[in-house]
Structures are given as structure tokens and as C-alpha cells.
Amino acid sequence: MKLRDALIDLTPLRVSREFRVVFTARLISVFGLGFALVALPMQVYSATGSSVLVAVVSAVNGTSVFGGTLVGGVLADRFPRRRLIVAGRSSATMAFTGLALNALWAPQGGEAGFAVICVCAALNGFVGTFSTVALQAAVPGLLPRNRLPAAGALLALTGQLGSIAAPALSGAVIALWGYPAVFAITAAVCAATTVLVLRLPPLAPTGAGDGERARGMAAAAVDGMRFAVRHRTVGPLLVLGFVQLLLATPYVLIPEFTDTVLHAGETAAGFLYSASAVGAVLASLTSGWTRTVRRSGAVLLAAVAVCGLASAGFGASGQLALAVAALAVLGFAEIVEEILRFALLQSHTPDALRGRVNSVWTAQNTVGGALGALALGSLAPLIGAGAAIVTGGAVTAVLVAVLAAAAPGLRRAVNAGGGSGGEDPHAGPRPSALSSSGSGADAPARGAPEERGMRS
């Protein structure tokens, strides 16, 4: 393979103004969220000394995201998606402003209001998820299928470039100016991205007629769930993601692991949060091969198995350098999984159902992450943070092997851009690109973002 074929495909950025706007907005947004990624768990842990309460905040966010995805998925298949994106970004601005004020008004040396933290997490989780689902649903209608792996790689890159420096800087900002400054930075960044998103076209969904809008939201949501569960590729994809997030995402235990295993402070924790982003960026920058790999389902399964093994390696490490290396491998494998799963999921789902199917994807991501945080947070007091992380990673690797044997549709799934065989009989015809936006439908590629849930 030539070097240029291994490097990330920048075609969507070259041909689409909308994608360039989205890329810039998301890069800035994730930089701000990278600050909060460190600040929120560190604030709760420093105030309470409890990883269980850190996990409770994650669970509150996860529960609200679950509700937000079900509502947002239906809305994204009925109304212009830009409207939902703006609503989501605006709610994030309000939530992080509330966190900043809460941290600022807490008594000197006292605990920040835990209830306020939970309320802000719930607000951002419910309404903020509208943005995530709408952006995910918009991508396939703007791009030909053979550009979906490239789009997934670029969107994953935007999610990681800002994350490399932000967590490490966040530790320094906390040490210098405290938690209010970190949350204020995140709120300002969310406000700026809201303004940038307003430059996008309306992003109206195809097939959103009056009949669809007249149906009950519950019935419409059930249609999306039914499709996702019954599809021989989409269903196992969702289960695979759930397994990884449930057991191989040790981030909730980083504060306790840093304190009790590495015997280090905020700066070391910042490096650990940044380590996975370094591996993820490397995976994104060398993702050119994903547009030609044919057995992407098998590669996807292998990537999740590596996630489990890397997580176990992190838990078994007793030195900062080894812990950073293990998390870098974990980040690399996570992005390979994300790119391939994004391309397979979007190409196997018709546009009329993409909002709802993406809401199921987001819901299972969030619920899996929240339950995983609770499981690891509850297991850590019993056997220790390191042993809990090792256990989760090892079980992940075993369950991937079981799923590979039980789901031949996923194991044999081919790359959406890999030529013949990439079309799925259940996916339906490819919709034209947003003719309602006022742009021509004959453009070779158009861009819109895919945002991950609030693990960031």
C-alpha cells in the first residue's frame, strides 16, 4: 500500500463548504468540551472522594441522553435538522454556564452543589442530544456511500484534535484558577459553535411528509428500534458498541486510578485523559485504508477486542508511562471502530429512518457508557480501581469472540465504499442530497458532522 493511500482522505473538506464549516465548529467545540471532560469528574471526586458519585453524574447524563435521543431521533426525521442542532448547542451553553456559576458561588473550600451539577448534566444530556442525532442523520444524505468512511474519519479527527491539548491544559487551569474558569471556557466555546452552525443550510430530511409528522412519536420511535434490532448488520453493530462501552471504557476511574494506583495529581490525570486522544488522532490520520478494506465487519470486531485488551493493560499498569501507552492504544482502536461502525450503520439505513436509528445508536452508546461507569465505579471499592478495569477489559475480549461467532451478518459485512457488495438490500435507495436546502443535488459530496455523545 502506498503512503498516500494510507493517509486520511480530505476530499469532503475540499469539495464542501458546509463540511468545512462543520469541521471548524466541531474542532472548536471539542476543545472546549475537553476542558470539561477533566473538570467535572475531578470536581465531584475532589469534593466527595467517591468514584460512585462520579459515576452517578455520568448516569444522570446518560439517562437524560437516552430520553433525548428517542425524542430527537423522531424530530430529526420530521423537521429541518439545523433547528435541532442549534437547540442542542444552545442548551450546552446554558448547562456549562450553570456549572461555572455553581463552582464560582460554592463556599471557599466547600463542596459545589451536587444537585446543580446533576441538573446541568441532565439539561445538556436531553436537549444537547438533539444536536448529536440530527448531525448524524444528515451525513449520509449529503455524501455518496463511498465517501462515508472518509467522512467518519474526518469527523472522528475533529473529535480528537481538540482533545489532545485540552485535558492537559484543563488540569493546569484548574490548578491556577479553579473549576469556574474551566466551565466558563466551555460555555463560551459552545456559544461560538452555535453561531457557526447557523451558517449551515436547513438540512431538511427527505420523506418528511405530513403523514409522517401526524404519527405519534412513540409509534415512530418503535419503527426505528424495530428496524435496528431486526437488521442482520445494524443490530449486531449496536450490541458490539454496547459491549465495548459497558466494559472497556475505564475513563470514569481515571481520578481514582491516578490517586490510588499512580499516587499522582491533577496534571497526571490530564495526561491520562489526553493519551487516548493521541492514539485516536493517529488512527484518524492513517485511516485511508478504511475506504478500501472489504471485510470491515471482521476488522471492526478485531478493533473492539483490542479495546478490551488495551483497557486491561491500562488497569494492570503501575507506572504513568505504561498507563499513557495503554490508553493511547485504546484510543487508536476506538477510532478504527468508530470509523467502520459509522460507515456501516449509515449505509445500511434508509434516510427516512436515519434520525431514529441514529437515536438508537446514540442511546445505546450513552446507556452503555453510563451503566459501564456505574459498574466500574461500584466494583472499584470492592477490588480496587486497577483490578476493576482489568476485569472489564478481559470480559470485553471474551464477549467479542462470542458475538463474532453468533452474528455472521456482522462478521461478513463489507465496507460501504468497497465496491460491489457494499449495498445492502435493506437500506433502500440512496436519497438525493438535500434538494430542499437550495443546493443542487448533483454535487459529488457534501459534508455535515457526526457528534459523539457526551463522553466528551
Task: Give Cα 440 to chain centroid, integer Å.
Answer: 30
On the question of pLDDT at 10 being above 70, the answer is yes
Instruction: Report d(CA 228, CA 226) in Å as an integer.
Output: 5
On the question of pLDDT at 307 being above 60, the answer is yes
Confidence of residue 60 (pLDDT cuts 50, 70, 90): confident
Confidence of residue 448 (pLDDT cuts 50, 70, 90): very low
- pLDDT tens sequence across 255-305: 889 888 888 887 888 888 888 878 888 888 888 887 777 788 889 999 999
Task: Note the pLDDT of residue 419.
Answer: 39
Instruction: Report d(CA 226, CA 208) in Å as an integer.
Output: 19
DSSP state of 287: G
Confidence of residue 454 (pLDDT cuts 50, 70, 90): very low
Task: Note the pLDDT of residue 452.
Answer: 37
Give mean pLDDT, residues 366-377: 79
Instruction: Identify the residue with better confidence: 142 or 254.
Output: 254
Instruction: Report d(CA 56, CA 221) in Å as an integer.
Output: 27
Give the CA angle between residues 45, 334, 405 to the nearest 5°. Answer: 120
Instruction: Report d(CA 254, CA 260) in Å as an integer.
Output: 10
Range from 22-36, 80-94, 229-243 carrying the lowest mean pLDDT:
22-36
Task: Give Cα 401 to chain centroid, integer Å.
Answer: 24
Nine-digit cell string for 328: 493511547
- pLDDT tens sequence across 168-223: 787 778 888 888 888 998 899 899 989 988 888 888 777 655 555 555 667 777 77
Q: Do the Cβ atoms of 430 and 145 come closer than 8 Å?
A: yes
Q: What is the mean pLDDT of the chain?
A: 77
Task: Note the pLDDT of residue 11.
Answer: 80
Q: Do the Cβ atoms of 114 and 389 come closer than 8 Å?
A: no
- Which range among 2-6, 106-110, 241-245, 367-371 has the greatest average pLDDT? 241-245
Which amino acid belongs to residue 116?
A: V
Instruction: Report d(CA 335, CA 303) in Å as an integer.
Output: 9
* Class of residue 425 by CB neighbours under 10 A (exposed 0-12, middle 13-18, buried 19+): exposed
Q: Do the Cβ atoms of 323 and 272 come closer than 8 Å?
A: yes
How far is CA 285 from each of CA 240, 278, 335, rounded to the nearest angstrom?
Answer: 24, 11, 10
How many H helices and E strands in the chain?
18, 0
Task: Note the pLDDT of residue 326.
Answer: 94
Range from 32-41, 116-125, 152-161 carrying the lowest mean pLDDT:
152-161
- Which range among 222-231, 404-413, 431-440 has the greatest average pLDDT? 404-413
- pLDDT tens sequence across 314-343: 999 988 999 999 999 999 999 888 888 888
On the question of pLDDT at 444 being above 80, the answer is no
Which architecture, in CATH terms, is 7-208+215-419?
Up-down Bundle (1.20)
Please, where are the H alpha helices in 286-420?
A: 296-316, 320-347, 351-383, 385-406, 408-411
Instruction: Identify the residue with better confidence: 106 or 380.
Output: 380
